[in-house]
């Protein structure tokens, strides 16, 4: 079997940046339901072996993440209720420039949700301290115990570290980086390198902006180990923290953060300075529905692409046949609702047709079709997420004894979210 650490690296580099959707938090009952489904899947699962190739692990991760994307798109369309038609009464924020300002409606439906304009002049920035670049093989620290003080937001901390005989600069710097990162005081530390291979410690505050009575967010000093602190240079501020600057309806404002709420109705995330004014408001009903349906189709098409890629390499059509059958069985009704199937199996949305049919006397049939598609995609996503190994090439070693199966919740493999003990 391929090395699992390589697969995890693939997961973080490919999908790590997308983690954090508000639909990815779950209740205890939902987690318990997922566990029970894993147990049920493994109860009758045969013992099998998979090929020792890294792409199979990556394929399983791709299946799980695209299944997750499908589930999130279903959750988005279900946020106002199980019936997609309910989304027509849901309030959804819109931004005329999402690359600069991202908007989310967070009101209760009864508050002031009038639109407004925002012009982003600059973003809030964190404080950055960058130490001196040291030769990694050098030995600028003598054996002994050292300490430095760190003041942050009215709290003071003392950090101590030891230097053992023979330890080079890189070892010492890594010790301090780990010390700061495990302290959980609102700072992040890492090593950065220059062109000649020297390393320096860079410390970044998780908070941004400064209040009127502040100049910096944190300060590092030492009376006992002043020489060592000067050698490290981590007390040197290389970027001062700053507030975001923007105009709301032409009036200048500042914020300590790039994330704030306006009128208790809109949550804004500033992402980049804008080129002029950005209009924030509510989407009309048809636009909100179209966006949700398009997201659902995009997630479906993503899974089709994964299945086609694996089919091309391994000639395994199991996943493609299962996913594509959803749309093929609904071809005529989907076309009525403005959703067409191309020659590859992708779904394409005719926005004009969808808008026309949901405003006609036949809208009940259209929404019934959309709800049926959403339910089928949700079912397929759950199945693929629980056991992605069902779609990979494998050799059956032994079937379990019918009627005398044992629960084995950890046997689905690490690609289903569990760990396997390779020593077994």
Domain annotation covers residue 78: yes
Choose among 394, 397, 367: nearest CA to 289. 367
117 and 35 part of one domain:
no
pLDDT band for position 416 (50/70/90)?
very low
Q: Do the domain assignments include residue 270?
A: yes
* Boundary-marking domain end, from 282, 313, 347: 282
Residue 143 forms part of a structural domain: yes
- Higher model confidence: residue 294 or residue 28? 294
**Per residue in 361-407, pLDDT tens?**
888 898 899 999 999 999 998 888 888 877 877 766 666 666 665 65
CB proximity list for 2: less than 8 A, separation 6 or greater:
52, 53, 54, 55, 56, 57
Asked if residue 210 belongs to a domain, the reply is: yes
- The count of structural domains within the chain is 3
The per-residue pLDDT for 25 is 56
Shared domain check, 320 and 389? yes
Assess if residue 380 is contained within a domain.
Answer: yes
The band of 318, judged by pLDDT with boundaries at 50, 70 and 90, is confident
pLDDT at 2: 42
Is the domain of 31 the same as that of 135?
no
Q: Is the pTM of this model over 0.85?
A: no
- By CB neighbour count within 10 A (0-12 exposed, 13-18 middle, 19+ buried), where does 395 fall? exposed
pLDDT at 421: 37
Facing residues of 150 across strands? 157, 220
Assess whether 144 and 195 both reside in one domain: yes
**Domain containing 326: what range?**
4-90+286-416
Do 323 and 382 reside in the same domain of the chain? yes
Helices (H), 18-53: 28-43
Tokens of 352: 């004009």
- Domain boundary at 282, 303, 336, which? 282
Q: Is 306 domain-assigned? A: yes
Based on the fold, state whether residues 11 and 74 are members of the same structural domain.
yes
CATH of the domain at 194: 2.60.40
422 lies in some domain: no
């Amino acid at each position: 079997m391929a090395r699992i650490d390589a697969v995890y690296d693939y997961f973080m580099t490919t999908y790590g940046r997308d983690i954090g959707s508000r639909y990815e938090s779950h209740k205890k009952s939902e987690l318990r339901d997922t566990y029970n489904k894993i147990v049920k899947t493994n109860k009758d699962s045969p013992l099998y072996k998979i090929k020792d190739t890294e792409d199979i692990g990556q394929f399983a991760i791709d299946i799980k993440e695209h299944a997750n994307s499908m589930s999130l798109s279903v959750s988005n369309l279900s946020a106002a209720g199980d019936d997609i038609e309910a989304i027509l009464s849901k309030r959804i924020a819109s931004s005329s420039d999402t690359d600069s300002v991202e908007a989310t409606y967070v009101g209760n439906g009864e508050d002031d949700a009038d639109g407004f304009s925002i012009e982003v002049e600059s973003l809030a920035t964190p404080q950055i301290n960058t130490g001196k670049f040291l030769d990694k093989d050098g030995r600028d620290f003598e054996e002994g115990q050292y300490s430095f003080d760190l003041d942050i937001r009215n709290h003071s901390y003392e950090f101590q570290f030891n230097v053992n005989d023979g330890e080079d600069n890189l070892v010492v710097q890594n010790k301090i980086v780990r010390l700061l990162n495990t302290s959980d005081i609102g700072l992040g530390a890492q090593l950065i390198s220059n062109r000649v291979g020297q390393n320096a410690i860079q410390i970044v505050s998780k908070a941004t902006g400064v209040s009127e009575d502040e100049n910096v967010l944190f300060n590092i000093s030492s009376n006992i180990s002043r020489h060592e602190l000067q050698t490290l240079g981590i007390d040197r501020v290389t970027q001062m923290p700053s507030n975001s600057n923007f105009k709301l309806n032409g009036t200048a404002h500042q914020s300590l953060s790039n994330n704030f709420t306006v009128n208790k109705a809109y949550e804004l995330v500033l992402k980049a300075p804008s080129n002029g004014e950005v209009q924030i408001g509510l989407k009309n009903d048809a636009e909100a529905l179209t966006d949700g349906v398009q997201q659902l189709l995009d997630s479906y098409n993503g899974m089709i692409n994964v299945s086609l890629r694996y089919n091309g390499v391994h000639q395994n059509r199991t996943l493609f046949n299962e996913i594509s059958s959803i749309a093929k069985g609904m071809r005529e009704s989907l076309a009525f609702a403005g959703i067409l199937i191309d020659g590859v199996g992708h779904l394409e949305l005719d926005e004009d047709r969808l808008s026309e049919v949901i405003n006609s006397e036949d809208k009940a049939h259209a929404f019934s079709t959309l709800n049926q598609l959403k339910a089928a995609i949700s079912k397929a996503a759950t199945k693929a997420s629980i056991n992605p190994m069902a779609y990979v090439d494998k050799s059956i070693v032994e079937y379990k004894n019918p009627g005398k199966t044992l629960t084995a919740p950890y046997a689905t493999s690490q690609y289903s979210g569990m760990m396997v003990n390779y020593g077994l």
